[in-house]
Amino acid sequence: MTKRRVVITGVGAITPLGNDVPSTWSNIKAGKSGVGPLTRLDTDLFAAKIAAEVKDFNIEEYIERKEARKMDRFTHYALAASIEAVKDSGLEITPEVGLRTGVWIGSGIGGMETYENQFKVFQEKGARRVSPFFVPMIIADMASGQVSIHFGAKAMNNCSVTACASGTNSIGDAFKVIQRGDADVMISGGAEAPITNMSVAGFISNTALSLNPEAQKASRPFDANRDGFVIGEGSGIVVLEEYEHAVGRGAKIYAEIVGYGSTGDAHHITAPAPEGEGAARAMAQALSDGGVSPEQVAYINAHGTSTPYNDLFETQAVKSVFGEHAYTLAMSSTKSMTGHLLGAAGGIEAIFTALAIKEGIMPPTINLENPDPECDLDYVANEAREASIDYAMSNSLGFGGHNASIVLKKVDA
């Protein structure tokens, strides 16, 4: 069976660097950090004092207050980013189009904020005072569900929950839905709102978070002085579309998705497999799926969390897959600027990868001041770089041993 081609025709984002794609991408190219003081929580409770928070966001600019009150914040972010992405695509989702339009949006932990707030209500006021919307607000699939309802998208409606790989798995799986002919359009990506008391406490307890008090410098992937990731929040959403469907309506095209790989480490609940063995298999699988040789890839948007093991093992995985070409290609971590958006990371990083291809600009890895000797590849240190990019890859790796990679391609005019 001939594989149908799949392209990105719309992008939308709510991030610590801006509440739309243009402002976020502008700040990424400028090497600006979205990390600042942790304002949403009582910092006296925590050793970590910083976070990459979304700023000046108002869901009532997108939907009515009555509807917004039935949703957790992670769903607010997903819906706002989806509205931008669909508008950007120029696609009118009529009832007829809606039958062939699906949604696949992932989230790592879903409505944690609602869970904590409602548990407090339960303790203080009793079971009868718990919101009737409690369960629909906390379940991770509800971002996808609410986006489907908002647009009347009636094809496959799904959600990948694979920790920090959720966004990339969702896009990869949505890509396959269109490729095999089950839909013509998919609204896909990730959403997360994890800056809550229990989430922050848990990540500190398992030593994953950076305790660096200097906000702008704390997220420093591949640097010898990295000490953990900076927790972030937001959403990144893409509109995927079958190529002929997009061309037929004169849509602009950011990039084509050509390959997807997804593997399991079968190793440890939080630590990646030694030498990035599972990540390497996901990358190799994505290349094979797209019929792309390692030498064709010019840029990789790394998972690059700024944790000691992840950055080292991802570097080793790239060397394993790309051989000598690993020292020729460029790889950067935009988490140095956005922080780690957990299940939303793959969504925004797919957007950055597509824009890197379309504009010929490789985003930088900021704060790379003292490179780890064992991380010895080209990480586009500190300043963005102009370069022609025909093929690029985006990687996401998650707790539980989840690995996901997608390969994107420039589409000729």
Residues marked as catalytic:
164
d(CA 382, CA 33): 11
Hunting for tokens 């824009």 — which residue is that? 355
Query: Which among 4, 9, 3, 81 is positioned nearest to 241, based on CA atoms?
Result: 9
Alpha helices for 30-72 (secondary structure H): 65-68
CB contact at 8 A, 405 and 167: no
With vertex at residue 187, the alpha carbon angle to CA 8 and CA 392, rounded to the nearest 5 degrees, is 35
d(CA 6, CA 181): 11
Residue 339 phi/psi, 5-degree rounding, is 70, -175
The secondary structure element, H or E, covering residue 386 is strand 385-386
Hunting for tokens 């928070």 — which residue is that? 53
CA dihedral 13, 16, 22, 26 (to 10 degrees): -140
Structure tokens at 145: 């569900």
Hunting for tokens 């990948």 — which residue is that? 160
Query: Which among 217, 215, 270 is positioned nearest to 48, based on CA atoms?
Result: 215
325-329: Cβ within 8 A, 24+ apart: 325/294, 325/295, 325/297, 326/377, 327/377, 327/378, 328/378, 329/297, 329/298, 329/299, 329/300, 329/377, 329/378
